[in-house]
């Protein structure tokens, strides 16, 4: 397995037939997993997302891949019945935690609230529209541990289902992030990031919008955390409305990119004392 670069740490591609130098599981204990999902007007998706999440969690618990599981849903000021439905589901499931925003803050604000509320040693952030099969989480955990990585970032193996325009936007954005922040990640905005708690303890996130993925990955890389990438089958949204390719969202990304680039570029790898904390 080759190192494909990064601003402060190696970014590896965990493809079949490739092995990393780490080679073995570094964790001597089984960790707790938090699954974080931001939501805005997702009344059509919430029930199936919660069901799929706990089905995947039960498999992981049964197989001994994790010691505990929780689902954190962040209602980002929804104007439909999303928040009400989430609260009703949580009444019967103590492992379901609901975070409410009084007003819509945007994707970054919702993700940050979810990451703050999560109690797990490992945190998986994804979307409530289920862009990948959650039964793949077991494989993601094995890859993170096998390659002794700090962050796992997934990329879409097949993207034609989301349309030509969004695919072009995404490709251009990935190139822009690589050129601006030195982050060599294939699919920076794909909502599948598996993160060790220690990464979040050593970076501070500020994005309120859709720049959150790039900010998270770039800061982790500049701080010297090891990132591994893996391809997943992608399932395009079938219900609800996506706003990720709207001009307003794109303008917000560019504004935050300009504002946060100096801070990201100034970051350096952890010192031995910081890493030992």
- The full set of domain ranges for the chain reads 11-18+29-266
Q: How far apart are CA 128 and CA 45, in angstroms?
A: 7
Report in angstroms the alpha-carbon separations of 145 from 26, 63, 99.
6, 15, 29
Superfamily covering domain 11-18+29-266: Spore Coat Polysaccharide Biosynthesis Protein SpsA; Chain A (3.90.550.10)
For residue range 157-197, list pLDDT tens digits in order: 987 777 788 888 899 999 999 999 999 999 999 999 999 99
Q: What is the pTM of this model?
A: 0.89
pLDDT-flagged residues of the chain (< 70):
1-10, 14-29, 237-245
Q: What is the pLDDT of residue 238?
A: 62
The contacts of residue 192 (CB under 8 Å, 6+ apart) are 124, 125, 126, 131, 132, 140, 153, 154, 232
**Reading across the β-sheet that carries 68-76, which strands appear in turn?**
11-13, 227-232, 151-156, 192-196, 122-126, 32-39, 68-76, 96-101
- Count helices and strands (H / E) in the chain: 9, 8
Q: What is the pLDDT of residue 20?
A: 42
Q: What is the pLDDT of residue 21?
A: 40
Alpha helices per DSSP H over 10-117 = 46-62, 82-91, 107-117
């Amino acid at each position: 397995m080759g190192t494909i670069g990064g601003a402060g740490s190696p970014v590896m591609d965990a493809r079949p037939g490739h092995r990393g130098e780490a080679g073995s599981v570094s964790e001597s204990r089984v960790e707790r997993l938090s699954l974080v999902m931001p939501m805005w007007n997702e009344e059509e998706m919430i029930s199936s997302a919660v069901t799929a999440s706990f089905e995947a969690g039960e498999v992981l618990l049964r197989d001994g891949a994790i010691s505990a599981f929780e689902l954190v849903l962040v209602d980002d000021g929804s104007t439909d019945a999303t928040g009400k439905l989430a609260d009703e589901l949580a009444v019967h499931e103590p492992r379901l935690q609901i975070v409410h925003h009084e007003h819509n803050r945007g994707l970054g604000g919702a993700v940050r609230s979810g990451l703050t509320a999560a109690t797990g040693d490992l945190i998986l952030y994804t979307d409530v529209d289920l862009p990948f099969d959650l039964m793949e989480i077991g494989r993601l955990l094995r890859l993170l541990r096998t390659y002794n990585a700090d962050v796992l970032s997934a990329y879409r193996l097949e993207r034609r289902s989301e349309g030509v325009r969004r695919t072009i936007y995404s490709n251009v954005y990935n190139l822009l992030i690589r050129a601006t922040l030195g982050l060599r990640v294939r699919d920076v905005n794909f909502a599948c990031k598996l993160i060790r708690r220690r990464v979040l303890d050593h970076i501070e996130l500020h994005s309120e919008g859709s720049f959150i993925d790039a900010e998270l990955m770039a800061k982790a890389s500049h701080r010297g955390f090891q990132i591994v990438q893996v391809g997943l089958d992608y399932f395009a949204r079938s219900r609800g409305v996506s706003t990720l390719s709207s001009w307003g969202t794109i303008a917000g990304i560019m504004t935050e990119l300009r504002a946060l680039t100096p801070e990201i570029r100034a970051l350096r790898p952890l010192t031995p004392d910081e890493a030992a904390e």
